[in-house]
Structure 1
């Protein structure tokens, strides 16, 4: 292969907003990925029509249609941007072919992955789960605190424009809170996690805003935590340019005489850390206020780029 050919062919299942935005990111920004197919189930979907106009092969017959396409044997990575319920079927069909699956639904068949936190540990996993938009935005902040001090409890509130929540997002609301809550603990490092999502109907639509509350050890180093958070914001912004702090990290201490009542843990002393974020979308396909969708597609692209680098390195080693 020439250096120009050294890209991994990818397909996207799901021709809705998330899948279409991801397709455009792959076509415009990918360094190691080649857009091979867009897969849907509605022949009249706008996403399939746009893919065809952009020269991408399409099928409206779902994963079965993808497997019948001429270039299926060349595909190394498939993104699933459908629903948690559909993902199990898609994954079971793809795994026997040795295809890596990047799951943008809350199905969580594979390990939870936040690119800046734990991707390196799961590069060889056959299926990785991108948690949720709220998880991608807030778990890096929980981890930034937990790498400095023990986090007894972390709670995140993700507020997104109602217009940016399509049918798939709304159908997965229950899975969103459950998946994000588990990932706050498993990936973020908190002893206990809780996630809340708010669909804000305001007009004009508001950008994604996220609030992260952590209760750390009462004697935790505030400056070290603030510095850790700022470094992590820079790391996330490397692949989500619209990711930023809205104000300085806030701290409040609760001593043994004035403990905080923590859900599931009772009354306890600690250092309350409050982090306020905004996520502005890149507006590749979706409006800039839809940062909740942009951070998912950006994180999925960042993860797949590193998976592709691993696959290409393995191919080179066998030549």
Structure 2
């Protein structure tokens, strides 16, 4: 069984997602590709591969005859645009997958909490940094409660389009919130770095977690939990990998300002995890792992929604 889908947003993320659906998906069928610039490269590519298009935004989508059969709509625009689009689409009962930081619906990170939100009408994919790092925060949390987590996402400046640049504040706020709500940390912070290096560098992510002081067995449990999570993410993002082994450093009261007062014990271990994400280069260059992980995660979510619906109707 397949479901027809539409993508709103004909920029880099939307176009890459379109090609992933066409090349990789067994459960999704591209029905409509939506933009607002008639001359965009994404719309031209969609027409060349036989996908119906409109340059009239969400209103154009709703007016198309194909719209009636669309079950799932991806929004790869911006936070403000998604709020507008979601309001326009709400009467039609379509399932929305939001690749912007708008966060109207629940945050979803596939290996962490996807099955909890299979009935949500609008799910949010957090951010590229969130998709890369929150699984690791959750993995550390399985072995030891995380009192504080901080992530730093470093991406190539060339992979940051106007949508990303316009949403920097939303990126940090949304990711910080999801570190707590999805990752399970008591407190969280997110930082994004646009790296201007040329040639461009691939996405690098650093995850720092403060937990209670770990003994040898505790450190081994964290290492194994992180390794398992990295394998889970790599199932749908093949370029996702550990850059080096998990690092541990014991800390004292000097880090307590970062930890909620009720969790302070005076004795902690800092867990440091270093990741890199190389893109699959379906449309985007391989250094744009930050965009690739978003489209790959969104594809994973849509396919799970469709297969869950199929199982429920049997």
* TM-score relative to the length of structure 1: 0.94
Q: Partners of 1:43 and 1:264 in 2: how far apart? A: 50
1:252 aligns with 2:241: no
Match of 2:230 in 1: 233
For residue 259 of structure 1, report the CA deviation from its aligned partner: 3.9
Q: Partners of 2:71 and 2:143 in 1: how far apart? A: 38
Match of 2:299 in 1: 301
Match of 1:155 in 2: 150
Q: Secondary structure at the match of 2:46?
A: helix
Deviations 1:278-307 (A, max 9, x none): 000000000000000000000000000000
Q: Secondary structure at the match of 1:147?
A: helix
Match of 2:81 in 1: 86
For residue 95 of structure 1, report the CA deviation from its aligned partner: 2.2
2:56 to 57, 61, 66: 61
Are the aligned partners of 2:148 and 2:259 in contact in 1 as well (CA < 8 Å)?
no
1:105 to 94, 100, 107: 100
Q: Secondary structure at the match of 1:86?
A: helix
Are the aligned partners of 1:259 and 1:270 in contact in 2 as well (CA < 8 Å)?
no
Match of 2:278 in 1: 280
Are the aligned partners of 1:153 and 1:262 in contact in 2 as well (CA < 8 Å)?
no
Deviations 1:111-138 (A, max 9, x none): 0000000000001100000000000000
Match of 1:141 in 2: 136
Q: Partners of 1:244 and 1:219 in 2: how far apart? A: 24
For residue 148 of structure 1, report the CA deviation from its aligned partner: 1.1
For residue 81 of structure 1, report the CA deviation from its aligned partner: 0.1
Match of 1:20 in 2: 15
For residue 264 of structure 1, report the CA deviation from its aligned partner: 6.0
Match of 1:198 in 2: 193
Deviations 1:213-268 (A, max 9, x none): 0001113610000000000000000000000000000001124xx54244364784
Deviations 1:21-43 (A, max 9, x none): 00000000011100000000111
Q: Partners of 2:183 and 2:172 in 1: how far apart? A: 15
List alignment gaps of at least 5 residues for structure 2: none
1:292 to 283, 290, 293: 290
1:129 aligns with 2:124: yes
Q: Partners of 1:136 and 1:206 in 2: how far apart? A: 19
State which drifts further: 265-274 or 157-166: 265-274
Q: Partners of 1:263 and 1:224 in 2: how far apart? A: 24
Q: Partners of 1:217 and 1:8 in 2: how far apart? A: 46
* TM-score relative to the length of structure 2: 0.96
List alignment gaps of at least 5 residues for structure 1: 1-5
Q: Partners of 1:304 and 1:173 in 2: how far apart? A: 26
1:48 aligns with 2:43: yes
Q: Partners of 2:241 and 2:119 in 1: how far apart? A: 30
For residue 61 of structure 1, report the CA deviation from its aligned partner: 0.5
Deviations 1:150-203 (A, max 9, x none): 100000000000000000000000000000000000000000000000000001
Are the aligned partners of 2:78 and 2:101 in contact in 1 as well (CA < 8 Å)?
yes
State which drifts further: 218-227 or 147-156: 218-227
Task: Give the count of matched residue pairs.
Answer: 309
Q: What's the C-alpha RMSD, in Å, of the aligned pairs?
A: 1.3
